[in-house]
Amino acid sequence: MAESRSNPQLAAVRLADYQPPDWLVPDIELDIRLDATRTVVKARLHLRRNGRHDRPLVLDGHGLETRIIMLNGKGCANWPNGDTLTIPVDGDEAVFETEVVIHPSRNTRLMGLYASEGRLVTQCEAEGFRSITWFPDRPDVLSRYRVRLEADKALYPILLSNGDRGAARDLPGGRHEITWTDPWPKPSYLFALVAGQLAALTDEFVTMNGRRVQLAIWTAAADVPRCAHAMAALKASMEFDERVYGREYDLDEFNIVAVADFNAGAMENKGLNIFNSKYILADSETATDMDFDAVAGVVAHEYFHNWTGNRVTCRDWFQLSLKEGLTVFRDQQFSADQGSAAVKRIDDVRALRAVQFPEDSGPLAHPIRPDHYVEIANFYTATVYNKGAEVIRMLHALLGVDGFRRGTDLYFDRHDGEAVTCEDWLKAMEDANGIDLKQFRRWYEQAGTPRVSVTLTQQGGRAELVLRQTVPPTPGQPDKQPVHMPFRLALIGRTSGRRIGDEQVVELREAVTHLTFADLPEPVLPSLNRGFSAPVVVEADTARADLAFLAAHDDDPFARWEAFQQLALSVLGSDDDPAPLVEAVRGTLADPGLDAAFKGEAVLLPTESFIGDAATIVDVEAIHRRREAARMAIATGLESEWWAAYERERTALAGRETALTPEAKGSRRLANVALSYLVTAGSDRAFAAAETQYHAALTMTDRLAALRALVNSQATTAQGARAAVLADFHQRFAGNNDVIDKWFSAQALANRPDVLDQVERLLKHPDFTPSNPNRLRSLVGAFAANQRWFHAADGAGYRLLADQLIAVDRLNPQSAARLAVPLGRWRRFDAVRAALMRAELERIVAAPGMSKDVLEMASRALA
């Protein structure tokens, strides 16, 4: 990168420079005297020289007030130089001790030890442990931890850390202590502690070998009943990992703590997962069906890390996808197993396309295993996580259920207790199955979303399919090689609408693949990339009438949904009449073979940003205008169908409004899509129905859907209702963070020309606390996702975003860096917008004292 030469702050770390650690720390003892303003951390590291060399011990530390440094019981003359401490050591073993002071209440970065609502909590991944004590803070140094926690007993009655709990003891002066011992060696990024006033929902799980595990989810006492769904998901995850992967839990207790201030979703610390409260707390009054599913998915994700991440961890941070891609794949499998697999797959693909595809086609593109980074916190990306999961899914498709399990069994056998690489993972898959994944490895090396273009020719009973793959150039990677992918396909009879022959998994390896089919009883249409078996863009140039036919007949639910999406992209890419979309939706609603959950998905138009992604240059106004016109045509053209669907699903829900069964969720989904089309059509009857539903709702799903429908309505006749429900919602849920976030987001995402003014007003609202990452995302992050109004032609949206980013960077660089992403997409917009976006990026780079997190993101975006 050019910037790394001009700005030493942006020096890159490179995979090619990896060296094993010079010193290992098989054991560490921590003694932590907790206090919000002044915490004292004593550390004793038992060191062992790694190999034959005479290099000193080099430790990482950040923002530590160092009091004492001792080697083998004697004070050291060496003192820190910035963030490193270098100690020459004689002999192959030594004991190294430090005492440092840290200040949790001043820690707004939310890395290391910080305060949240009066509690003290840690976040150490990726490099937070160095903000707690001096340590070789890298994932290939694995240690057994023994941790003594001491604190004021009234302020911090609960003291948690990793592993097994020792006896607690009261101390003079109203203080108390407890010692936790973790028998499993772990890297420093998995260390955790929590101290504070907490109550727990408790339960028990008996493992496949009969071991009893005590489960606890800790939160404020008032929120304990809202942990029930998370607890059920935890037990289901433990059962799933035993049943599907043969993996058993390995400690006597498993603790989860929910906190309000958290940079990410959750963290898999050994035996002590710490969660963003929005992924734990859920009940029908405050959580939507989507929230319930997200809670279960994230609980499963963090639990599954116990094997994929903790027992087998990463050698270095370039290997992040080793644990994250694999664990996302496992949580997706779990969610599919617990609910509707078809809808889950559609939702996962939608998320991949919404976030990862743009990343892969923009200035931030990187392979799932990057080979350099400036700030590792910037690489917790949709590419590493979600594309990483797609790569694992392709292995699953190539090897089959049994072959994949043989591979994971060998991986765990071989590498339990080790810090390994993606290469080790692939080798285990190869050795267990006697296959060669040489070409498959390109998925780990090449960035960019492959394109597969497909042409079909047919004559008589013969058909030929030609599939051509290309991988587009990305920054730093001009030339790409073809990849090895499983491409599921089938043929659908153009007359009968039935599948002709079996589905096949074709392994594409070459740039061009020819497939021929003989003895076909009728003309056919290809059903391509069924189940989204490969994370690629398919270009098939299928006629609209054929897409409509597939949207009505394809027997693969994903492919059927996709056919309508492609039809919509085709129609909305032009000023053509949206009538084919109205007819397709009519057919879907009337199809007795489809369930409500699928219908609720299949009648939705692609988002404005997805439509924009399909174009070379995003025409913000035209996309909005056409999509709005199509929505109106679907709303008014099918008004009686929407009323029928609405009433049918509401009736189906009567008496089981709060049920979380797949059927009830499906009914709510379809009823609420119907309601939003009805409000779009704009009758007084529809406004009244939305208002009634808002007030009578027994679930957040129904209440929020009614609120959003009214908030998005352009009609002046809906003004009164809109203001009333917004005021009611705020008052009804005052003090409930996760719900107030929804109130902010609904307004920031509104489909209304006055959104920018509303967001400016909300920035001054007393509930807007930018230091809280959830709240910042709910207002500023949500606004940046509102394509039409964020991309206002005068650049006011960009200015607002950049102002917020610059202000927040002083508090929390990780939060700020995330806000740079939307501006990085400037190349996709017209010249006027592109210049305005660039100007804001340049203003960010020039602002004094910006963090390395933000500078890396902004300078990559400008390069």
Q: How far is the CB of 324 from ligand PHE (least distance, A)?
A: 6
The answer to whether 63 and 39 are in contact (CB under 8 A) is no
Calpha distance 76→92 (Å, rounded): 18
Quick one: what does residue 264 bind among ligand PHE, Zn ion, none, with the CB cut-off 5 to 8 Å set by partner type?
Answer: ligand PHE
Q: At what angle do helices 684-696 and 700-712 cross, to 10 degrees?
A: 150
- Residue 380 contact among Zn ion, ligand PHE, none, beta carbon within 5 to 8 Å by kind: ligand PHE
Residue type, 718: A
Residue 123's binding partner among ligand PHE, Zn ion, none (Cβ under 5 to 8 angstroms by kind) is ligand PHE
Q: Which of 3, 150, 253, 302 is catalytic?
A: 302
Shortest separation between residue 310's beta carbon and Zn ion, angstroms: 11
Q: Name which of 277 and 566 has its Cβ closer to Zn ion.
A: 277
Q: At its nearest, how many Å lie between ligand PHE and the CB of residue 259?
A: 12
Structure tokens at 242: 């035993």
Q: How far is the CB of 18 from ligand PHE (least distance, A)?
A: 21
Q: Give the Cβ contact number of residue 525 at 10 Å.
A: 25
Contact criterion met (CB below 8 Å) for 420 and 140: no
Determine the straight-line distance between the first and last CA of the chain, rounded to whole angstroms: 9
Structural contact between residues 617 and 830, judged by C-beta atoms closer than 8 angstroms: yes
Name residues contacting Zn ion, limited to 323-352 (CB under 5 A). Answer: 324, 327
Distance, CA of 555 to CA of 558 (rounded, Å): 9
Number of chain positions touching Zn ion (CB under 5 A): 2
Q: How many whole angstroms separate alpha carbon 768 and alpha carbon 777? A: 11
Which residues touch 781 (CB under 8 Å, ≥6 apart)?
Answer: 818, 819
**What CA dihedral angle connects 638, 643, 646 and 650, to 10 degrees?**
-160
Minimum distance, C-beta of residue 301 to ligand PHE, in the bound complex (Å): 6
Burial of 775 (0-12, 13-18, 19+ CB in 10 A): buried
The half-sphere exposure of 472 on its side-chain side, counting CA atoms within 13 A, is 18
Neighbour count for residue 695 (Cβ, 10 Å): 12
Sequence-separated contacts (24+) of 16-20 with Cβ below 8 Å: 16/371, 18/315, 18/316, 18/318, 20/50, 20/51, 20/140
Indicate the residue among 310 and 787 with the shorter CB distance to Zn ion.
Answer: 310
Helix (H) or strand (E) holding 303: helix 289-304
Which parts of this chain interact with ligand PHE (CB under 6 A)?
Answer: 123, 125, 263-264, 266-268, 301-302, 324, 380
Q: Which stretch binds Zn ion (CB under 5 A): 239-247, 320-328, 444-452, 784-792?
A: 320-328
* C-beta nearest to ligand PHE: residue: 264
Query: 60 - beta bridge partners?
Result: 84, 135
Q: How far apart are CA 33 and CA 616, in angstroms?
A: 58
Annotated catalytic residue 601: no
Q: Which is nearer to ligand PHE, 295 or 584 (CB)?
A: 295
- The listed partner (Zn ion, ligand PHE, none) that binds 223, CB under 5 to 8 Å by sort, is none
Nearer to ligand PHE, 298 or 686 (CB): 298
Choose among Zn ion, ligand PHE, none what residue 261 binds, the Cβ cut-off being 5 to 8 Å by kind.
none
- Of the candidate spans 253-261, 316-324, 441-449, 730-738, the one that interacts with Zn ion by CB under 5 A turns out to be 316-324
Residue placing its CB nearer to ligand PHE in the complex, 263 or 758: 263
Looking at beta carbons only, is 330 or 722 nearer to Zn ion? 330
Residue 427 Cβ vs Zn ion, minimum distance, rounded to whole Å: 22
Cis, peptide link before residue 846, omega less than 30° from 0: no
Report yes or no: 309 and 721 within 8 Å, Cβ to Cβ.
Answer: no
Based on CB atoms, which residue is closest to Zn ion, 327 or 570?
327
Contact criterion met (CB below 8 Å) for 93 and 47: yes
* From Zn ion, ligand PHE, none, interface partner of 856 (C-beta below 5 to 8 A by class): none
Tokens of 441: 């490895």
Min dist. Cβ of residue 756 to ligand PHE (A): 32
Q: Which does 841 bind (CB under 5 to 8 A by kind): Zn ion, ligand PHE, none?
A: none
Please choose which of Zn ion, ligand PHE, none residue 694 contacts, taking the beta carbon within 5 to 8 angstroms, the exact cut-off set by kind.
none
Strands 23-33 and 143-152: parallel
Gap between the Cα atoms of 129 and 110, Å rounded: 12
Helix pair angle (662-681, 700-712), 10° resolution: 20
AA identity, residue 321? S
CB of 272 to Zn ion, least distance (A): 15
Residue 691's binding partner out of ligand PHE, Zn ion, none, with CB under 5 to 8 Å set by partner kind: none
Largest CA distance in the chain: 92
Q: How far is the CB of 190 from ligand PHE (least distance, A)?
A: 9
**Please, what is the minimum distance in Å from the beta carbon of residue 160 to ligand PHE?**
17
Q: Parallel, antiparallel, or unpaired for β 313-314 and 372-373?
A: unpaired
Instruction: Select the binding partner of residue 266 from ligand PHE, Zn ion, none (C-beta < 5 to 8 A, by kind).
Output: ligand PHE
- Residue 264 vs 552, nearer CB to ligand PHE: 264
Instruction: Quickly list H helices, 305-440.
Output: 320-338, 341-351, 357-360, 382, 388-415, 422-433
Toward ligand PHE, which CB reaches closer, 301 or 631? Answer: 301
H/E stretch holding 647 reads helix 639-653
The one-letter amino acid code at 684 reads: D
Using CA atoms, how far apart are residues 109 and 7, in angstroms rounded to an integer? Answer: 23
The DSSP 8-state label assigned to residue 386 in this structure reads I
Complex with Zn ion: residue 188 or 676, whichever CB lies closer: 188
Query: Do the Cβ atoms of 270 and 250 come closer than 8 Å?
Result: no
840 binds, among Zn ion, ligand PHE, none (CB under 5 to 8 A by kind): none
**CA-to-CA distance for 666 and 4, rounded, in angstroms?**
51
Q: Which does 331 bind (CB under 5 to 8 A by kind): Zn ion, ligand PHE, none?
A: none
Residue numbers 104-163 binding Zn ion by CB under 5 A: none
CB-nearer residue toward ligand PHE: 697 or 816:
816
Euclidean distance between CA atoms 380 and 169, whole angstroms: 40
CB of 59 to Zn ion, least distance (A): 27
CB of 737 to ligand PHE, least distance (A): 18
CB atoms within 10 A of CB 82: 7
* C-beta closer to ligand PHE: residue 85 or 382: 382
Active site residues: 302
Point out which residues bind Zn ion (CB under 5 A): 324, 327
